Structure 1
Amino acid sequence: MKDLLSSILELLEAVLYEPIRLESALANLSEKSLNLFSWIVLIPSSLSIAVGATYLSPPYSSGSMALIAVAFFANLSMISILPMILGAVIDFQAQKKQRTGNVNYSYNLCRFGIGIFLFFAPLSILCRETGLTGGVGYFLILLFLIGYYITIISRGIQYVYDLKTSDAIRFSLTSIIIVGIFPFVFYLYASGSILHLIL
């Protein structure tokens, strides 16, 4: 158990602070271990977002637990799929700039970078104490964490694809904007299909 925790912390430290070490950290782990580690990161991150968002919206009732459960599964499904698409879009942009493809690195950088969303619940406590509740607090925290996420990804891809800082930030930002459209497209598709069945 101690070795497992040490490996996860080493991987997260490489992603969040020293992306230059991420390739060597990934090389020492099997795909099975990486998948296990990613769930160990994704599940608490999803729970942190769900709990934090509910905490920002008082008053609480018995239905708050159901709301947390629904939000948890919605967040988990979203943040487990989007890093895969995000990694592919970043790699595609880098290859268009005549860089050697490394989609595996991009994907792992994106999925383990999600670990910063563990801070959503603690930040929601801070926002609540300063009076920033409801949608205002939620979007402020989300914007801050997404900005931090873009910074993490930019630093990682700048190293692995040998990009200028401006290109790395542009690739990260445009990729997140492109990927961010997918949930809305899916929502519109699902809504349209349901309306079509009803009408």
Structure 2
Amino acid sequence: MNTTTPSSPREHVLLAAAAREFATSGYERASLNAVIRACGMSKSSFYHRFDSKQALFDRVVDEAAALLAHDLAAPEPVELAGPDFWPRLDAFVARAVPALAEPAWYTALGKLFYLPDVPAGRSPAMRRLLDGVDRWVQAVLKAGRACGAVRDDLPASLQAELAFALLQAMDRWSVAHMDAMKPAQRRRIAGQQLALLRRLLAP
């Protein structure tokens, strides 16, 4: 669970500006001066809050994780178990797609997860986030296997790795094409992606 203290409105503006700068320029080329100018903050105020680019990046990721967890309201895996396992996942995806379209900076946040110059091992915040998602996916698969909605002819660990890799590939593609898609197309693509995952996992 993410326990990051929620940002103040002023810090939220700063983090949104930082997310856009990192998403546009990449980690290495991102300019702290550009972030400071974009949010109208003095350098002294900025460096009072963050003493390095790494600290700023990790705070942006933690903020993203907290906001996404709140807005997506992912169900507890045990709540999915039962004959309605896949319809409940369908309902979650249907809620998630419009939530990810607002606020606008979510598109920038999504791109942070796939910057080539920020491997997860370099960012503690990124590692925490990915580990949390991985644990949720494993728990969902365990619930699905227990109720017969997910196939159990593969080792659970292999199945989890396959599902997580597919989810990352689909998410990476969606993030890269988000700006070019209209809401109806986003919903259609998300439904198709879940259908693909179901074909992989259902017995």
Same fold (TM over 0.5): no
- The structure with the greater share of residues assigned to helix is 1
Q: TM-score, normalised by structure 1?
A: 0.32
Q: TM-score, normalised by structure 2?
A: 0.31
